[in-house]
């Protein structure tokens, strides 16, 4: 397999990259980690005249932490960073755990958070993780920067809120709660494959272990990750006991319309939503991050 002929462009700054993107428009493709784009090129599913490689832009690879645990990750931050960072493991154990489900080590060494978010595969982990963490995407264009919440960023199958002349530059994660339960579950055909269905949750807990705030996200079941508001509302004021978990799982399953494809039927995905939501919530009852 060989890619089609293209012109390779390697800007050294964000301004240069935006200028090139504005100049060549639909004839250009952005290269971040390349773990989705390069196979598409090799399979002749993409035919860009110009390939704009962002890897020479140092500003897109920087990560900065605040004392409260909030942090900002440049769009070219590799998946592997989240797996190995002690600060991520301390403040965001959900991210540390979940990224290990992304493909294989070789891919995590090259793939980027920004590339995954921009590609917007509904079965990918990063769009769901950013949604459950209530992250904010910062997008740059020729009119400057703008911020888009995770709930507004994913618009559908391989579709985001970014315009054709814009680039995702960084992702801002808020400070985690001092007591927080977390869960992450997914089912795939093989280890390293995209999820057929996945469920993830973050539950803010008071000193007595009662849920103050909940975020539950399902991915892989629909054309984008879905925030399950009914299930989350049902968890507030509970202690994550079996009855509350089962009720939330049933609400999640009944409030989502699942897709069907060659991987699984809609009915199978519907059943997985209930099962994986229950498992993620049960996991959250035991996996509690304290800082």
Residue 236 pLDDT more than 90?
yes
DSSP-H helix ranges across 3-49: 14-24, 37-42
- 62 and 163, same domain (yes or no): yes
Could you say which of 148, 173, 198 is where a domain stops?
Answer: 173
What CATH number is given to the structural domain containing 81? 3.30.465.10
- Give the total number of structural domains in the chain: 3
- 107 and 126, same domain (yes or no): yes
pLDDT tens-digit map of 165-217 = 999 999 999 999 989 999 999 999 999 899 999 999 999 999 888 999 999 99
Is there a domain that residue 169 lies in? yes
Half-sphere CA count of 44, side-chain side, radius 13 A: 4
- 183 and 158, same domain (yes or no): no
- What are the phi and psi torsion angles at 56 (to 5°)? -90, 0
Residue 224 domain boundaries: 179-290
Is there a domain that residue 1 lies in? no
Residue 291 pLDDT more than 60?
no
- 271 and 193, same domain (yes or no): yes
User: 245-251 contacts: CB < 8 A, separation 24 or more?
Assistant: 245/278, 245/281, 245/282, 245/285, 246/278, 248/216, 248/277, 248/278, 248/281, 249/273, 249/274, 249/275, 249/277, 249/278, 249/281, 250/274
Task: Report how far residue 34's alpha carbon sits from residue 42's, in angstroms, rounded to the nearest whole number.
Answer: 11
- SS3 state at 13: coil
pLDDT tens-digit map of 3-37 = 889 999 999 999 999 999 999 999 999 999 999 99
What CATH number is given to the structural domain containing 270? 3.30.390.50
What CATH number is given to the structural domain containing 38? 3.30.43.10
- Name the helix (H) or strand (E) containing 271: helix 266-286
Q: Looking at the DSSP assignment, which residues form a beta bridge with residue 218?
A: 199, 226
Could you say which of 154, 173, 192 is where a domain stops?
Answer: 173
Is there a domain that residue 16 lies in? yes
Residue 230 pLDDT more than 60?
yes
Task: Report how far residue 275's alpha carbon sits from residue 150's, in angstroms, rounded to the nearest whole number.
Answer: 25
Task: Report how far residue 74's alpha carbon sits from residue 137's, in angstroms, rounded to the nearest whole number.
Answer: 10
């Amino acid at each position: 397999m060989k890619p089609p002929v293209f012109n390779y462009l390697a800007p050294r700054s964000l301004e240069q990259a935006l200028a090139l993107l504005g100049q060549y428009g639909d004839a250009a493709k952005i290269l971040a980690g390349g773990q989705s784009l390069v196979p598409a090129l090799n399979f002749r599913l993409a035919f860009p005249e110009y390939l704009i490689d962002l890897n020479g832009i140092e500003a897109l690879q920087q990560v900065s932490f605040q004392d409260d645990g909030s942090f900002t990750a440049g769009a070219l931050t590799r998946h592997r960073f989240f797996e190995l960072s002690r600060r991520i493991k301390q403040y965001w154990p959900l991210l540390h755990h979940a990224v290990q489900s992304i493909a294989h080590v070789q891919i995590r060494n090259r793939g980027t958070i920004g590339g995954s978010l921009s590609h917007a595969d509904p079965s990918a982990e990063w769009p769901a993780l950013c949604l459950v963490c209530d992250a904010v995407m910062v997008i740059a264009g020729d009119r400057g920067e703008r911020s888009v919440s995770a709930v507004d960023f994913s618009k559908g199958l391989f579709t985001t809120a970014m315009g054709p002349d814009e680039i995702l530059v960084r992702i801002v994660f808020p400070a985690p709660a001092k007591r927080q339960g977390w869960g992450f579950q997914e089912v795939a055909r093989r280890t390293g494959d995209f999820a057929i269905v996945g469920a993830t949750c973050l539950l803010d807990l008071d000193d007595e272990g009662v849920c103050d705030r909940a975020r539950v996200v399902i991915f892989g079941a629909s054309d984008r990750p879905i925030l399950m508001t009914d299930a989350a509302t049902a968890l507030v004021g509970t202690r994550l006991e079996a009855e509350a978990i089962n009720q939330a799982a049933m609400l999640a399953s009944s409030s989502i319309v699942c897709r069907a494809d060659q991987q699984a039927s809609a009915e199978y995905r519907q059943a997985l939503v209930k099962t994986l939501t229950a498992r993620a919530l049960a996991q959250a009852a035991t996996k509690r991050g304290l800082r």
